[in-house]
Structure 1
Amino acid sequence: MKYGIVIFPSKKVQDLANSYRKRYDPHYALITPHLTLKSPFEATDEEINVIANAIREVAKSTDPIELTIKKFSSFSPVNNVIYLKVEPTEEILSLHKALHSGKLESNPEYSFVPHITIGQKLSDDEHSDVLGSLKMMNIEQSETIDRFHLLYQLENGSWTVYETFRLGKDLE
């Protein structure tokens, strides 16, 4: 089965992202707006239990993190993805690193750029037009994140929560 690890932002940020995703993201109906911490990976039922235990340890040793969004950006010219740029704080970078080391060892395909996708698979012209108008907007959103989620993919391609992990050294 295919799994992934994400942070879901607040409803306010999700609503902002979805206001664009409805039109510009073909994956709109498959997954809620999110920040990917670990890209999709395959695991058996036995393997996912070991993986979930390792993730639980990472969560216990990580304090809640601040998520700050200040602008729209793009991965162009590599691909026509438009996203809400999440400030790459030391806490987010450390969490990402921890979820790719030890029992969770893996080599990400791309460098980690914390973001929430709002548009993808756009034509060059549409990408240019949409990004140009979004860059003129002034957004400033900051929130504390106290959990992240292990998701799995259903047969129809949509993603759902397998397990939620609370961040915090003081949790039992």
Structure 2
Amino acid sequence: MLYGIVVFPEKHVQDVANSWRRRHDPHYSAIPAHLTVREAEEWTDDELKLAVAHLEQVTSTMPAFSIQLNRVSTFYPVNHVLYLALQDTADMQKLHEQVCSGPVTCTEGKYVYTPHVTIGQELSADELHDLYGNLRMQSTDLVSKIDRVHLLYQTDNGAWTAYQSFLLRG
């Protein structure tokens, strides 16, 4: 089964992201607005058990933290993706490093880890440039508390649902 690890920002941030995602993200109905901590990967039942134990250990030592999303950015030309960018990525980077260790070590990915909330993807170049030009002119200042990590799995219909959530208790 396919598993991934994410954090969900608070509802007010999801509402803002979803106002754009509804029209510009084909994955809008499959998963709520989120920040990926670890990319999805196929795991066996044994790998899942190791991952759950690892996440219990990691989240027991990590404190909750806040993020500030302060601008719209893009991964163009590598990907036609628009996203809400973090002012300071240090806490998310630390969470990513802690989660992606031990039995949940990440294989070398195609991209450098950049924590973000996707608001549009699979856009044509013209649509991407038009939206980016408009959205980057808008003021963005969203703050959200991050106090839990979610282990998700993909269902048969392509939607993502929580397998287990882990409170940051450090």
TM-score between the two structures when normalised by the length of structure 2: 0.96
Residue 79 of structure 1 is matched in structure 2 by 79
Q: Distance in 2 between matches of 1:155 and 1:96?
A: 27
Q: Distance in 2 between matches of 1:143 and 1:9?
A: 6
CA shift at 1:108, angstroms? Answer: 4.2
Structure 2: gaps spanning 5 or more residues: none
Q: Contact 2:38–2:106 at 8 Å: present in 1 too?
A: no
- Runs of 4+ residues over 4 Å off in structure 1: none
Matches within 5 A, 1:91-130: 91-109=91-109, 110-130=111-131
Q: Distance in 1 between matches of 2:117 and 2:97?
A: 18
Q: Distance in 2 between matches of 1:119 and 1:127?
A: 8
Partner SS state of residue 71, structure 2: strand
Cα 1:65/1:76, change in 2 over 3 Å: same
Q: Distance in 1 between matches of 2:153 and 2:131?
A: 31
Residue 153 of structure 1 is matched in structure 2 by 154
Number of aligned residue pairs: 169
Q: Contact 1:88–1:114 at 8 Å: present in 2 too?
A: no
Q: Distance in 2 between matches of 1:156 and 1:34?
A: 19
Confirm or deny that 1:41 pairs with 2:34. Answer: no
User: What's the % identity of the aligned pairs?
Assistant: 43
Summarize deviations over 1:75-126 as a string: whole Å, max 9, x none. Answer: 0010110000023432211110111112211224121111000100101100
Partner SS state of residue 9, structure 2: coil
Residue 57 of structure 1 is matched in structure 2 by 57
Q: Contact 1:9–1:34 at 8 Å: present in 2 too?
A: yes
Summarize deviations over 1:5-27 as a string: whole Å, max 9, x none. Answer: 00101110111011011100000
Q: Contact 2:66–2:143 at 8 Å: present in 1 too?
A: yes
Partner SS state of residue 103, structure 1: helix
Q: Distance in 2 between matches of 1:152 and 1:75?
A: 26
Counterpart residue identity of residue 131, structure 1? Y
Q: Distance in 2 between matches of 1:124 and 1:6?
A: 28
Q: Distance in 2 between matches of 1:142 and 1:60?
A: 23
Confirm or deny that 1:22 pairs with 2:25. Answer: no
TM-score between the two structures when normalised by the length of structure 1: 0.95
Residue 8 of structure 2 is matched in structure 1 by 8
Q: Distance in 1 between matches of 2:12 and 2:88?
A: 20
